[in-house]
Amino acid sequence: MTVESEGDLKSLMRIGQIVGETVRIMAEALRPGITTKELDEIGAAYLKKHHARSAPILTYKYPGYTCISINDEAAHGVPGSRVVKAGDLVNIDVSAELDGYFADTGASFPVPPITPEAEFLCDCTQMALDAALDVVSDGQRMNVIGRAVESIASKAGLHIIRDLGGHGIGRGLHETPRNVPNYYTNRAKERLVDGMVMTIEPFLTYGSGRIFTAKDGWTLKTSDGQLAAQYEHTIVITKGKPILVTAV
């Protein structure tokens, strides 16, 4: 969607703050011994408290309120009986709807003791998101995002999971543009426009970057079993720095 009024922006910011706080609260509860279902229930309770509806359930009948992906699970990990262990790398991705507006955010959290491998991957993926946020503005082509992410990944010796990227959002969970590539391509020539609402979410890994769908039909895993990390914000494009809808 494109923000057309102050009401649009206020509504987006409201749901953006809710999903951002949901990730924060779930991350605070993250510890060895907790199951991903228990963690999901914490997120579900916070969404319910604020009258927000889980976007994956609403849009896709997803079997969980939030997505919780561990280690080689790149995205869409289904909450269940899996127990979080010391040293795991846990991604929490929350998207929700309130009063017809959607927002989406996520982050990766290493569980202590934090391995140097997980710390480096997370630091670089966060840097990739920050680099992309630094270059987006009205009039720029969409492929500046991929160029920024690719620059960080290349310097770090990491690979981009090319099958996963950002997307338009606002009145639905996934809107046009349907894909915001995290790598440079001439095909992503669309101009960014003041008021455009979208997510930016780089996915980086030590491995090849190839993924496959697990037997549950939802979870996306790296083909070589390597760690994956993701950081994501919903943003509004402006003539200057973007508005970070989901920052808390």
**pTM reported for the whole predicted model:** 0.98
Would you say the C-alpha torsion 78, 83, 88, 93 has a positive or negative sign?
Answer: positive
Could you give the CA distance from residue 71 to residue 19 in angstroms, rounded to a whole number? 22
Q: Which residues contact 48 (CB under 8 A, 6 or more apart)?
A: none
pLDDT tens digits for range 108-150? 999 999 999 999 999 999 999 999 999 999 999 999 999 999 9
Strand partners, 160: 204
Tens of pLDDT, residue by residue over 110-120, are: 999 999 999 99
Q: What does the alpha-carbon distance between residue 11 and residue 58 come to, in Å, rounded to a whole number? A: 18
* pLDDT (tens digit per residue) in 24-61: 999 999 999 999 999 999 999 999 999 999 999 999 99
Cα–Cα distance measured from residue 37 to residue 141, given in angstroms and rounded to the nearest whole number: 40
31 vs 83: CA distance, rounded Å: 10
Please report which helix (H) or strand (E) contains residue 53, including its range: strand 53-54
Q: Domains in the chain, start-ordered, CATH in brackets?
A: 6-244 (3.90.230.10)
- 79-106 b/e (C-beta count within 10 Å ≥ 16 → b): beebebeeebbbbbbbbbbbeebbbbbb
pLDDT in tens, 194-233: 999 999 999 999 999 999 999 999 999 999 999 999 999 9
